[in-house]
Each structure stands twice: as structure tokens, then as C-alpha cells.
Amino acid sequence: MSRSRRPIIRLKPLLLPPVAAALLLLLLACHCQQLFAALPPPPTATTPTQSYTASRMVAATTTSWLTKVAPEQGGDNVTLLDDLETTVASTTLQTKLPDTKRRPIDLTVGYLTAVKGDVKDRQGLAVSGALTLAIKEVNDDPSLLPDVRLVLKWNDTKGDTVLTTRAMTDMICEGVAAFFGPEASCYVEAIISQSRNIPMISYKCSDPKASEVPTFARTDPPDTQVTKSLISLLKYYNWYKFSIITETDWMIVAKTLRKEAIANKLTVNHFNEVVDRHACCVNGLTCCANGYWYELIRETRNGTRIYVFFGSRRALIEMMATMQVFGLFENGEYMVIYVDQNTYSVKDAVHYLWQPEQWSAITSRPGTCEDSKDFYKRARSLLVIVLSPPNEDYIHFTDKVRDFNQREPFNFTFPSIFLNVSTFLYMRLTSTIR
């Protein structure tokens, strides 16, 4: 529907007698006095937009009065103007044009991470700065999202589904446009996001069921995807019989591997579940005893040569130390295959073989790691399936992320004592924060 426009009357020069001209000016002056008396007082600091609006009011009211004075708009004395805005802008406000620069629209993104809590290998302390770094780069580049400013809203969900759901419902009510996260649990959260047609991108969630949700995407592949690499590795070396040892958190992946192995005509000699040592000791379970791994290796060593282990690095080192006590690495007859979810780092590779405190003791004395007893025997008996770093500049990216971790809104402190210590050691220490 086209906008109705009031006519504006422009008077053409008239040759009136002096008395008639004086009478016309008197009437116009009286009317303008009444007009300005009825208008509200001007603001103390008039903006161009306010001046523009006030001028339109004056022009429209004056037009109405002129129509009464000269009702014959098509006569010789008047000319009808159709474009009110053009007339005002070109005559009355030539030096007071409104500011045409549009203010950016705020687009809020929700960030669901795990900083505290009981989730193992939680990434909130390490990767949160990557999101604020990305938001800054997007906001600083007008060619990416013109007229849009990204705003961050975040919550520490501690990897708990209930806490994550509560945070999501609050953010949805506040109008978030997308979710980044969560980690650990994500299937229920993905369903909630789908119900509101809000995209969700998880950076660390291994639940394969979430992949079925159309509004869900992930940058970290599901854990079950690694089974294809394991099967290919086993078949490449003609290792058709092997044993699986898994921690509880990896049970889904371990069962998937067993299923894939049967489908590829491979034999699983043993399938053993172990409990994380920390959880064992906290709950006072028998697995907290030093002889736990000893019994497990003693029962399985004669029936297998290849172990596939799913669990923490600390548990891996305890398992391999026990195998070395039995002398299983002396002749290179045993092999351990380990799966690591984290990105490979050269400086952290030593932590597949030694605990952080062991490595500190080794580096504090003269010599190198090669001088450590049985280093080569243990190292040659371990294969690790790990994510490759994106590119050679990855280390520079991690330095930026560490810097943004210490800025608003996270303010994660990084004591200077840890600047020359591996990221893995830092994460191990901070993982005790509750």
C-alpha cells in the first residue's frame, strides 16, 4: 500500500496591493504564533533527527493552513508539491541531514562449557579463549557480518545434563541465536536446541546419537568413529586377535570396537572394564589397591599379545608399568594401542610414558629421557591414535587462546610458574578444582 502524502503548497510571487499584502502577512504571523505556542518546548540538545521531525511538523501544519488560504491548488498562484520529505530535506534542513549510519544489531551466542565438575579431560579451562578470540575477529571485520555485533553469554555447566538444560532454557528466553557446546553430554541438549530450531555446535561431545539431530553439528568426531582406524591398524599388521581393556566412560566405544571386530572376522580375546583409579580411591573400592593392575595383566597376558586400551593417560602408564614388571616388553612380543581424544603435541608426547611427577624428576637431573631405564623397550611397544594438529602454526594459535583465557569474561589465571611446563601438567593440576 503506497503511503498517502499530504500536498505542500508553494506560493508563486504575487503582485498584491500594499494593503492586501500587509493583511496576508499579519494573518500568517498570527497563525505561526499559535502554532509554535502549541508545540512542546525544544530539547536542550537538539539532534539532527529531532530537528528533522520538528521541521516536518511545522511544514505539515503550515501546509494545512495554506490550503485554507488558497483552496484552489491548481490555480495560477500556487504549485502543488508531492514529495514532503524531499522538500524538507532540500530546503529546510540542508545542513541537518539525519545520520544514515545504521547501528549494529546485537546477536547473542550461548557458550556451554565445563570449567569445574567431575568430567574428565574437560576443556573449559583450556579452550574458552578460542571463542572470544573468534568473536573479536568477526566483530573487527565488517565484511564478515555487516551491521551485526556478536555478543557472548556463557555458563559453566560442569558437564551435567541438568545444569546444562537449565542454562539453555534461560538463554533461549533471552534470545540466543546459537549454542556453542556443550561438552561431555550433548544428546538431550541437542534435542532441546532442535525444539527451538536453534543451531548447536559442540566442540567436545562423543555421543554418537547427537549426530542424528538435524540442528546439531560437531567439530570433534564421535568416539565411535575411531573404531574404523583401529580396525584398519589391526588388519594392516595382521593382528587378528586382541584384547580390549576399557574404563567405564569409554564403554560405548569399546563395545562398538568389539562389534566392528566381529564384523571384520577379528577375535576379541578379553573384554575387561576397569574403573578410574581416582574414583576407586575416593569411593574406597578394591581397585584402589596397588595390585589391581597386577591381577588384570597376570590373568590376560598368556591369552593375548595385543592390548587395546581406552582410558586416561595415567591409567595407561600404570598398565604399561605393570606389563614391564612382568617383562612383557623385553622381546617386543607385546603391543599396546591407545586412543587419545586430544590433539597431538610433541612436547606432551612424553606423558604417554611417564606421569607428570615422574617426568619432572627425570628432567631435573642430568641426562635425557633416553637415559631412563627401559625407555626404548616401553616406547617401541606403544602405538597411539591421536588427532593431528591442524597446521604448523597451531602452537601460535594456542598462545593466543591462552591469552584470551585470562581476559574478560573468563579471567582464568595462568600462574607464571607454569609458563615453561607442559599444558598437560597444567590441566592435570587445574582438574582438581571443584
**pLDDT tens-digit profile of 126-150?**
899 999 999 999 999 989 999 999 9
Contacts 24+ apart (CB under 8 A), 412-420: 412/115, 412/125, 412/128, 412/129
The reply to whether 264 and 350 lie within a common domain is yes
Query: Is a pLDDT exceeding 50 seen at residue 90?
Result: no
Number of domains present in the structure of the chain: 2
Please list the residues that pair with 337 across neighbouring strands. 308, 383
Q: Is residue 259 part of a domain?
A: yes
Considering only residues 210 and 387, tell me which one the structure prediction assigns the higher pLDDT.
210
Question: Domain span at residue 258?
Answer: 223-388
Q: For position 420, what pLDDT does the model report?
A: 45
Q: Which residues contact 47 (CB under 8 A, 6 or more apart)?
A: none
Least confident of 236-240, 291-295, 296-300, 301-305: 291-295
Nearest alpha carbon to residue 268 among 297, 234, 291? 234
Element (H, E) at 359: helix 356-363
The reply to whether 359 and 400 lie within a common domain is no
**Measured at the alpha carbon of residue 206, what is the angle toward residues 220 and 432, in degrees to the nearest 5?**
95
CB atoms inside a 10 Å sphere around CB 251: 12
The reply to whether 216 and 264 lie within a common domain is no
Q: What is the mean pLDDT of the chain?
A: 77
**CA of 150: how far to CAs of 107, 127, 218, in Å?**
5, 19, 20
CATH code, domain with 195: 3.40.50.2300
The reply to whether 233 and 198 lie within a common domain is no
The reply to whether 276 and 384 lie within a common domain is yes
Q: Is residue 367 part of a domain?
A: yes
Considering only residues 249 and 335, tell me which one the structure prediction assigns the higher pLDDT.
335
Least confident of 66-80, 296-310, 370-384: 66-80
**In 3-state terms, what secondary structure has residue 90?**
helix
Q: Is residue 349 part of a domain?
A: yes
Q: Is residue 212 part of a domain?
A: yes
The reply to whether 240 and 197 lie within a common domain is no
Least confident of 102-106, 243-247, 261-265, 426-430: 426-430
Measured in whole angstroms, the distance separating CA 289 from the mean position of its chain's CA atoms is 40
**Of how many residues is the chain composed?**
434
Q: For position 20, what pLDDT does the model report?
A: 47
The reply to whether 204 and 245 lie within a common domain is no
Please list the residues that pair with 268 across neighbouring strands. 242
- The helices-and-strands tally (H runs, E runs) of the chain is 15, 12
pLDDT band at 57 (very low <50, low <70, confident <90, very high): very low
The reply to whether 330 and 376 lie within a common domain is yes
The reply to whether 207 and 273 lie within a common domain is no
pLDDT band at 47 (very low <50, low <70, confident <90, very high): very low
The reply to whether 227 and 211 lie within a common domain is no
Q: Is residue 297 part of a domain?
A: yes
The reply to whether 239 and 373 lie within a common domain is yes
The reply to whether 191 and 242 lie within a common domain is no
